[in-house]
A and B are shown apart, each in its own frame.
Chain A
Amino acid sequence: DTAVSQTPKYLVTQMGNDKSIKCEQNLGHDTMYWYKQDSKKFLKIMFSYNNKELIINETVPNRFSPKSPDKAHLNLHINSLELGDSAVYFCASSQLGQVNYGYTFGSGTRLTVV
Chain B
Amino acid sequence: KQEVTQIPAALSVPEGENLVLNCSFTDSAIYNLQWFRQDPGKGLTSLLLIQSSQREQTSGRLNASLDKSSGRSTLYIAASQPGDSATYLCAGVDSNYQLIWGAGTKLIIKP
Contact = CB atoms under 8 A, between A and B. Distances in A.
B103 A106 contact: no
Judged by DSSP, the binding face of B is strand
A108 interface: yes
Interface of B: 31-32, 34, 36, 41-46, 49, 51-52, 87, 89, 91, 93, 97-99, 101, 103-104
A107 B36 CA distance: 12
B103 A42 contact: yes
Contacts, number: 49
The size class of the interface chain A forms with chain B is 20 to 34
A90 B49 contact: no
A99 B46 contact: no
Nearest to A56: B98
Contacts of B103: 41-42
Judged by DSSP, the binding face of A is mixed
Interface of A: 41-43, 45, 56, 90, 94, 96-97, 99-108, 110
Given A41-B87, A45-B98, A45-B99, A100 B42 contact: no
A90 B43 contact: yes
